[in-house]
Amino acid sequence: MTSILITGGTGSLGRTLVMGLLLRKERPERIVVFSRDEQKQHAMERELDDQRNVLRFFVGDVRDRDRLELAMRGIEAVVHAAAMKIIPTCERDPFECVHTNIIGAENVARAALRAGVAKVIAISTDKAAAPLNLYGATKLAAEKLFVAANTIAAGATRYSVVRYGNVVGSRGSVIPLFKQLAAERKDLPITHPDMTRFWITLPQAVDFVLSSLDRMQGREIFVPKLPSMRVLDLARAISPQARYEVIGIRPGEKLHETLITEDEARITFDLDDRYVITDRTDIAKRVPKHFVYRSNANDRWLSVPELQEMIA
């Protein structure tokens, strides 16, 4: 891979992905950071001034297909990480969410084909499996767009998806909120004492994206095998002495998250370190009948000390 473009390249994942690519033994000759936040781009460009021979910063919005196509000229691979993801904002401004997460995904897929990009991998979320909120619904639609794009592209460009759970330390996650409230000696808000989530660190997410990019053939949704954690245990890991206030599950929020539904299990295969949802017929090891990958039915759980280590 000689050149790669990352949409949402100044976000939590995009930025860590850039750092991971720069540290690779066989790093790309060109890394294009595509995002609409020129201030974050400027700060990132100054911080990585010694990498200016590799990095190229492109101000643009995934809603602008022409700008995407221009940025993708000469690019071999695209990681599509740009999205609106704050659930209350998406519920409040649904048209904006649709324009970015669905129409933006279509723009990325079409621009990549017109620019002659070889591989495109899109970042999805557990919220896309049996979605309950608009964010999840738009990400499910985006998944469908990228998988179906393989039929339109007829092999000229290959498209796949990675779907994973909550990312430790990403912007908008619960950890900064809990830390702030703990420092102010305030009660920590717990939506439900039994709530569970899948958990992945940013470096793990980057490794998973890049390894999936290397392995993809097109039409796959890659799902990592992740540990689960209880939100109450997370609160205890951040502030063992804190008091907790149960505030109730918010609109659009699930008690437990699902990464693979029972219906999807019919076309899900076990690849040792990950699952792959695909209609490909060349993968041997299917998951068991009635398989469901849900955060409360996991065989891997993070303890309070393990959570403390991940947070640190």
CB-based burial label for 71 (10 Å; 0-12, 13-18, 19+) = buried
pTM of the entire predicted model: 0.94
Residue 216 contacts residue 119 (beta carbons within 8 Å): yes
Of the given ranges (133-147, 162-176, 185-199), which has the lowest mean pLDDT?
Answer: 162-176
pLDDT tens-digit profile of 257-297? 999 999 999 999 999 899 999 988 777 789 998 999 999 99
Residue 164 contacts residue 205 (beta carbons within 8 Å): yes
pLDDT tens-digit profile of 212-255? 999 999 999 999 999 999 999 999 999 888 888 999 998 889 99
What is the spatial distance between Cα 100 and Cα 226, in angstroms, rounded to a whole number? 28
Q: Catalytic residues, which ones?
A: 127
Domains of the chain plus CATH, in order, are 3-165+200-224 (3.40.50.720)
